Chain A
């Protein structure tokens, strides 16, 4: 058989197979495309509404933009962002959210890594018991701690003059506490995959615990730490409840509180909500797309949360 024949024949066979399987394939693809479109509708609607003049909301549906693209305008963003800083506008909320999220994420990542190191490579007794307690804490709802922690903050304020209630540190402290069980769980699971021999070799070479942590375990654990950090970042960034409770009467609002408070004002205007929501999702969305793989890993590891 010549090469040409050998090449020609497979085409014939595979075409026959293709014909056999085509109808179900087409149906499947069409169904999934419809599902995907359906899933994108809310995001697209938010995007479009945020770019339509406020006066058109309630007069014509956002979808009319597809026939009249001239509706699009930047004016919502201009008016929302134009209030500037220090006015209680959305820019302040953006900064407040970042000021809560960044430290809460960094602290959880570092403290959880340290604790996981201790649980995996430490030699003290009762490590398993401590780990099981942490597994137990994984699913404890934040609600159980809200009131006592608020009381604790007030008591601390009476004692020292600094009351964390209503302050950013107060919010961060709470977030860190409830991010730790998951963080320790995730990091421990990763660290258990590091061969103990590697640490033994380091110990024989004379490295102390801190060196081993800094030089061996921490670099090896970067993928897990990245997953944890991204997961925690998005979690805290999107939180409403903890901010609502612990910022109390603070004038600084997180983005979610900003949005929520819009629904509570009598003159609730949807253009503010839509534009604000768009601004609030830009950061997590960018992180989601930039680090999707790490995020998915975090989600997979955190299936118990």
Chain B
């Protein structure tokens, strides 16, 4: 017995060590094995041998996967230190804690939205690339992000989605487009520094409708008005090219006026008078309003701050400084905000509000995640497309189907199993979504998912909440059970 084992091993060693062109060579060992009476290729030991090959994997899976799975189920019924049995207590806590319910909500958003979008995008890319010559290059470009860690990808997108148009490309693009249609005013109200529009009004001006300033007293043709403003820096005026304020002469049939900076460095407390060291406010859009509030005409102040409306019929008018003068333009959307849609005045309780408000950060992360995974979907669906029987598609053409009909009625149904695989894979993927959330929404608890909550409860809090974290893990596991079932049926 021992001898035979030894002989077998020697034979093996020799067989392995001797370089040989084909399978016949282990004959070196055959003689030795034949000597000890081992039938070729048979015997219980050979079965045992191949069973032994399974052992490392089996032990590993039992100790690090199977046993812990049971341990997690146990832990989920114990308290956070895993010592006291609490029954369903952890599950009750989970379903009544607003923060964790938000995780559920976010997971639902991910599972409902993402697999659908990524499968669709992958399908579109796979179909379109079939018709271009540079398909390989295109596929490589789209597929490449899958080699990046989700962490790195999330950080890239963090910058792309930054609120500051000087950093975030999305906001920079939106700003460019926005400025195209409604450029920022020459005299933007710096709301960021707490400035309000009415603080700009000094003499003869008051706040009007929709972010405008309007002259307080009515004015008739032949009269001239003087409108003083404050809070506009000399630097801005210098940039605009403003000059010394000049009171315009009145003219019959015309409304004239001056808009000036009502602050004289030599008489810092005097208001309402035009001093020699005060500048006109140049380039201001001014509109003449009739007594009923309708616009009669518009003009722009000159370098001295003067404006004239001529040919005005008799009546009482007001002068309006347009809102466009004070618009600060596009300042960036807070794409990574987690508190976008919460309305504290609605009658809903806090939990319901938290559940109903879908933070913008979820949308941003879904876009980033699409960037990562669309290539995966495309490659799998593309392989499915390539595996389709060309002749069947040709048969459809012969049968009279146009391209769309062929796609809808032949390609799609034949591709359906592949689409399901991609969809299911992505569902599982986003059930466990973790890295991107941790990195893209680092301080936004509104973006948490089950996996991040589990991590936060079980590992990032002190002392760790093992019970709660385990209960979340069990829920995750239960959610993938249907997929296990689907896979098993497919394999069989």
Which residues of A sit under 8 angstroms from B95, Cβ to Cβ? none
B164 within 8 A of A: yes
B395 within 8 A of A: no
A238, B23: Cβ atoms closer than 8 Å: no
Q: How far is the CA of A287 from the CA of B146 in the complex (A)?
A: 12
A237 within 8 A of B: yes
Q: How far is the CA of A7 from the CA of B467 in the complex (A)?
A: 80
B333 within 8 A of A: no
B54, A115: Cβ atoms closer than 8 Å: yes
Minimum CB distance partner of A263 in chain B: B442
Q: Of the 9-residue stretches A12-20, A65-73, A80-88, A147-155, which lies at the interface with chain B? A: A147-155
Which residues of B sit under 8 angstroms from A281, Cβ to Cβ? 147-149, 152
Q: How far is the CA of A225 from the CA of B15 in the complex (A)?
A: 23
Q: How far is the CA of A272 from the CA of B477 in the complex (A)?
A: 37
Q: How far is the CA of A38 from the CA of B315 in the complex (A)?
A: 58
Interface set, chain A 247-299, CB cutoff 8 A to B: 255-256, 259-260, 263-264, 270, 273-274, 277, 280-281, 284-285, 287-288, 292, 295-296, 299
Which residues of A sit under 8 angstroms from B166, Cβ to Cβ? 58-61
A46, B64: Cβ atoms closer than 8 Å: no
Q: Of the 9-residue stretches B25-33, B112-120, B216-224, which lies at the interface with chain A? A: B25-33
A277, B155: Cβ atoms closer than 8 Å: yes
B142 within 8 A of A: yes
Q: Of the 9-residue stretches B69-77, B277-285, B286-294, which lies at the interface with chain A? A: B69-77
B68, A206: Cβ atoms closer than 8 Å: no
B435 within 8 A of A: yes
B260 within 8 A of A: no
Take A148-B67, A238-B148, A240-B151 as given contacts and tell me if A304 and B425 are in contact as well, using a CB distance cutoff of 8 Å.
yes
B15, A215: Cβ atoms closer than 8 Å: yes
Take A144-B69, A245-B455 as given contacts and tell me if A122 and B29 are in contact as well, using a CB distance cutoff of 8 Å.
no
Take A115-B58, A245-B459, A303-B421 as given contacts and tell me if A147 and B72 are in contact as well, using a CB distance cutoff of 8 Å.
yes
B249 within 8 A of A: no
Q: How far is the CA of A237 from the CA of B491 in the complex (A)?
A: 30
B379, A299: Cβ atoms closer than 8 Å: yes
Q: How many A-B residue pairs have CB under 8 A?
A: 341
Which residues of A sit under 8 angstroms from B464, Cβ to Cβ? 147
A209, B49: Cβ atoms closer than 8 Å: yes
Which residues of A sit under 8 angstroms from B27, Cβ to Cβ? 205-206
Minimum CB distance partner of B477 in chain A: A144
B325 within 8 A of A: no
A2 within 8 A of B: no
A147, B75: Cβ atoms closer than 8 Å: yes
Q: How far is the CA of A63 from the CA of B173 in the complex (A)?
A: 11
Which residues of B sit under 8 angstroms from A142, Cβ to Cβ? 432
Closest Cβ of chain A: how far from B18's Cβ, in Å? 10
A141, B431: Cβ atoms closer than 8 Å: yes
Neighbour of B435 across the interface among A210, A256, A273, CB < 8 A: A256
Closest Cβ of chain B: how far from A87's Cβ, in Å? 21
Which residues of B sit under 8 angstroms from A137, Cβ to Cβ? 61, 65-66
Take A117-B53, A240-B150 as given contacts and tell me if A42 and B23 are in contact as well, using a CB distance cutoff of 8 Å.
no
A205, B40: Cβ atoms closer than 8 Å: yes
The secondary structure that dominates the A interface is helix
Most chain A C-beta atoms within 10 Å of own C-beta, residue among B25, B51, B57: B57
Fill in one digit per residue for B438-473: 1 if any A CB lies within 8 Å of its CB, else 0.
110010000000110011001100001010011011
Which residues of A sit under 8 angstroms from B29, Cβ to Cβ? 206-208, 211
B267 within 8 A of A: no
A99 within 8 A of B: no
Minimum CB distance partner of B380 in chain A: A303
A136 within 8 A of B: yes
A176 within 8 A of B: yes
Minimum CB distance partner of A198 in chain B: B23
Take A124-B51, A137-B61 as given contacts and tell me if A216 and B23 are in contact as well, using a CB distance cutoff of 8 Å.
yes
A75 within 8 A of B: no
A180 within 8 A of B: yes
Minimum CB distance partner of A234 in chain B: B147
Interface set, chain B 400-426, CB cutoff 8 A to A: 421-422, 424-425
A244 within 8 A of B: yes
Interface set, chain B 1-45, CB cutoff 8 A to A: 8, 11-12, 15-16, 23-27, 29-30, 33-34, 40-42
A36 within 8 A of B: yes
Q: How far is the CA of A226 from the CA of B443 in the complex (A)?
A: 40
Take A61-B166, A145-B65 as given contacts and tell me if A244 and B455 are in contact as well, using a CB distance cutoff of 8 Å.
yes
B476, A141: Cβ atoms closer than 8 Å: yes
B152, A36: Cβ atoms closer than 8 Å: no
Q: How far is the CA of A131 from the CA of B58 in the complex (A)?
A: 11
Which residues of A sit under 8 angstroms from B65, Cβ to Cβ? 137, 140, 145, 177-178, 181
B88 within 8 A of A: no
B172 within 8 A of A: yes
B64, A41: Cβ atoms closer than 8 Å: no
Which residues of A sit under 8 angstroms from B466, Cβ to Cβ? 147
A91 within 8 A of B: no
Q: How far is the CA of A114 from the CA of B140 in the complex (A)?
A: 33
Which residues of A sit under 8 angstroms from B421, Cβ to Cβ? 303-304
B459, A203: Cβ atoms closer than 8 Å: no
Q: How far is the CA of A174 from the CA of B64 in the complex (A)?
A: 7
A111 within 8 A of B: yes
A118, B129: Cβ atoms closer than 8 Å: no
Which residues of B sit under 8 angstroms from A25, Cβ to Cβ? 131
A259, B47: Cβ atoms closer than 8 Å: no
A130 within 8 A of B: yes
Minimum CB distance partner of B24 in chain A: A205
Closest Cβ of chain A: how far from B481's Cβ, in Å? 9
Neighbour of A32 across the interface among B132, B167, B435, CB < 8 A: B132
Q: How far is the CA of A178 from the CA of B425 in the complex (A)?
A: 16
B46 within 8 A of A: yes
B51, A139: Cβ atoms closer than 8 Å: no
Neighbour of B159 across the interface among A45, A117, A146, A206, CB < 8 A: A45
Closest Cβ of chain A: how far from B64's Cβ, in Å? 3
Which residues of A sit under 8 angstroms from B459, Cβ to Cβ? 146, 244-245
Which residues of A sit under 8 angstroms from B181, Cβ to Cβ? none
Closest Cβ of chain B: how far from A111's Cβ, in Å? 5
Q: How far is the CA of A132 from the CA of B489 in the complex (A)?
A: 10
B344 within 8 A of A: no
B68, A209: Cβ atoms closer than 8 Å: no
- By Cβ-Cβ distance, the 6 closest A-B pairs, closest first, are A203-B41, A148-B71, A206-B30, A177-B64, A122-B50, A238-B149
What are some 28 contacts across the A-B interface (CB < 8 A)? A43-B145, A61-B165, A118-B54, A119-B54, A122-B54, A131-B491, A136-B488, A139-B484, A143-B473, A144-B473, A146-B458, A152-B67, A177-B64, A180-B60, A181-B65, A204-B40, A208-B26, A210-B16, A211-B29, A234-B147, A238-B149, A240-B438, A256-B435, A259-B151, A259-B152, A263-B442, A288-B144, A305-B425
20 further interface pairs, Cβ-Cβ under 8 Å (given A144-B72, A207-B26): A35-B125, A39-B144, A42-B153, A45-B169, A46-B156, A57-B167, A61-B167, A115-B58, A118-B50, A132-B491, A140-B69, A141-B477, A147-B75, A205-B27, A208-B12, A208-B46, A213-B53, A255-B149, A296-B379, A299-B376
